[in-house]
Structure 1
Amino acid sequence: MASAAQAPGLRIGSLRGAPVYIGRSWPIIAIIIIFTFGPQVTNLRPDLGTSGYLVAAAFAILLLLSVLVHEAAHALVAQARGMAVHQVVADAWGGHTSFDQDDTSPATGALVAVVGPLANAVLAVIGWLVLQMQGDGSAVTRFDPISVPTLLLSAFVWANGFVAVFNLLPGLPLDGGYLVSSLVWAATGSRSKGSVVAGWCGRIVAVLAVLWAIGLPLLHGQQPSMITTVWAIMIGGFLWFGAGAAINRGQAEQVLGKVQVGQLLRPVFIATGQTPLSSLPQNADIAVTAPDGTPWGVVPAEIATQVRASQPGLAVESAALRQPQPWVAQVDDPQADVSQLVRVYQASGGAASHLLVVNGTGQLLGIVRAEDLRVALNAVA
C-alpha cells in the first residue's frame, strides 16, 4: 500500500487488490470542464441560470466515472493475463493504470490496450439506448434541452464515443499507440522498436490533432473558438510529450538490449556474517547473509584480499559493505538484457554498489558491480 506521502491522490477503493485513486491533478480538469461546459448549458437552458454550472459539475463527475471504467477495464484484463496491477489513477490527463509489463507479450499488450476504448464505446452505446427508450434519440447529437437528465446523458454519450475513437488513434501515449507498438513488436521481435515507432506516430497524431482543431477552421475562413484552441493545445501538448517519453524509453531499451547479464556476472560466494574471511575462496566477491539467509551486504574480492593479508581471522561482516534494498535482481537467463538490473539499481536510488543476481527459482547466478554496468551501457550508448 502506498503511504500518504507516496499516494498519487485520494484513495477511493480498490479493484481486486489494486488501489484506486482520484489523482491530485483531477480537480484541474474538473474546473476546466465546469467553466467551459457551464456556459453551453446556460445557453441551452437559460432558465437554469447559474445552476447550469452545477449541471456542468455533474457532467465532470460522469466523465470521472467514465475514466474509472476505462482504467478498470485495463486493470482487469491485465490481471486476467497474469500481470500485477499496482494502482489505478484518474487524473487531469484522463487516467493511467500501473502494472508490471516484464512478462507481457505483443498479444497481451494489444488486448490490455484495446479494452479501455471498448469500455467507453460500451458506455456510449448504453447511454444511447437509454436515450432511445426516452423516445428522443436526437438529443445525442444536438444536446436537446428537454430535460437536464437528457442533457447530461447526451453529453455522456458524445464524450464516451469521442474518447473511444480518439484513444484508438495510432500513436503513443494513446491506447491505439500501444496497439501499434504491439504490432511492430510482433513483426520485428523488438519491444523497444515498437515503442519508438509508436512514439513517432504519436507525435504525428499530436500535430494532426492541433491542425484539425485549429487549422481546419482557419482554412474555411473561420476563427476557432477560444475553448477549441485551449483544448487543442492541451491535448496536443499531452500527446507530444507523452510520445517523446515513449521514444526516449524505447531508445533506452535498445541500448539496454545490447548488453547481456552474462557479460557482467562475476563469481560470488554466500557466507553468514560470522564466517572467517580466511575460510572462503579467494578472488571472488562474497555476499553476506543474515541468519535467516537474507543477503544484506557484500565484501568485494579486492577488499577480502587486503583484509586476509592483515587480519586473516576477521569475520566477513566486519569487512562487508551494506547494500540498500533492493539489491537482488531476478533474471530468467544470463542471456537476458540488463533492463532488470537497471530497474533494481534505480529502485535502490542508485545507492547499490553491487547487484546480486538470481534466476526465477532463486538459484544464485552471480554478482554484478554497478560500475561495470555503467561502463558497459556507456560503451554501447
Structure 2
Amino acid sequence: MNFIAKALNLSSSAAARLEERNILRKAFIKHPFFSDIVEAFRLDKKFGHYEDGTVIVKAQDGLRVFRGFPKIKRILTINPALKRHFGSRKIALEEKMNGYNVRIVRIGENIYAITRRGLFCPYTTEKAREAFTHDFFDDYPDHMLCCEAVGIASPYVPNEVYGIEGLDFFLFDVRHSSTNEPVEISEKIEIAKRYKLKLAKILKFSTPDDFESIKKVVGQLDKNGREGIVFKDVKMELQPLKYTTSYANASDLRYAFRFFGEYSRDFMLARIVREAFQSFEFGDDKEEFDARCLKIGKAILEPMVESIKRCSQGESIYEESDLIFSSQEVIELFKMHLRFLGIDFKADVSREDGGYRVKLKRVMRSTTDKINGILEGRTWK
C-alpha cells in the first residue's frame, strides 16, 4: 500500500484502511498484455476529492493517477434548470451518445482503456490500440482522452443506431489525468482536428434562455433514436448537466424490464419520472400524451412478457453481444476479466477474416430464477 499512500498523499495506515473498507479494489488482472503495469487499484467509492473510478497505477516508469469521471447531474426540466445553473453563460449542446465511458491513457509504451468503474478492460484496450496513435500523448503526456465507446460490437452497451459495425470511440472531454482539469470546448475541438479524433457531436451553441430552440434539438434527437444532450459551459468552468430523450427513457425501461431481476425499482421509477416532467414541460396535447403513455406502457410490459415466454419454454434469460477480437490471447484474458467481475456468461468463438468473432451471452440469473420460481407457483415475496 506504500505506492497508494504516496500517489494519493496519504499515510500508510490511511491507505490500508481504504482496502479494509473495500473502497480500494484491484483494477486489472496481471497479464503480459498489461506489460507496463506492475500494480493497479481503483477507488470503488468517492474518497475525499477523488471520484469513484479513480485509478492508481504503479507502472514500470513511475506512479500515475487517473481520476474518475466527475458525476454529471441530471435535469428533468430544461427551462428553469439551465438558467439556474449556467446563468447567462454561453453553452454547448453536445450529443450524449449511447455507449460506455472510457478513459484512453498511455502508460509506459502502450495505450490502455479504463472503464467508468476504474477497470482496465482487455477488449476495449485492444480496440483502443487499433484506433489511437501515440501522437496526442507525445504532446499531452499527462492528459487522458475521455470517450464514449459506441457500436454493435460492444460488450456492455451494444447499439445499432449509429451504424457502427464494430466498436468506435468519440471524444467528449480532454482532462488532466491527476487533477481532472478539463480543456475548454474550443481547445477540445482543435485537438480533435489536429489528431484526427472523432468527436461527440456539438449540436448547437446556445444560451440557457433559448428554450424553444433547445426543445427542437431534443425533438430531433428523439426522432433519430438518440440518447440526449450534455449541456456544457464553453469555458468548462461549471459542471455539465445532462438531459435524456423520451426515446432513451423508453429504451432503458425496455431493457430493465426485460431483465427486471437484475435492476432496482429506483432505476425503473427514475425513467418514468423523467417522462412525466418532459410531458409537462413540453406541453403534450392529448394525442401526444396518449402516444407517450402507449410507448412507455409497451416498453414495460412487452419485454417482461417476452422473458416470461422464454423461461416457460425452458430457456434462460441472457443479454447477447457479438464481439470482434484480433487476438486469441485477448479473448482468454477478457474471459478472465468477466469472471473477475463475477459475470455469468457463455462464449462461442469462431475464426473470421484474420480475427475472431465471439458470441457472448451474459446469463441474467436473477431474472431467470425469479420467473421460473413464479411459474412453479412460488409467491413474489
TM-score (norm: length of structure 1)? 0.23
Higher normalized helix content (fraction of residues): 1
TM-score (norm: length of structure 2)? 0.23
Which structure has more relative contact order (CA 8 Å, sep 6+)? It is: 2
Which structure has the bigger radius of gyration?
Answer: 1
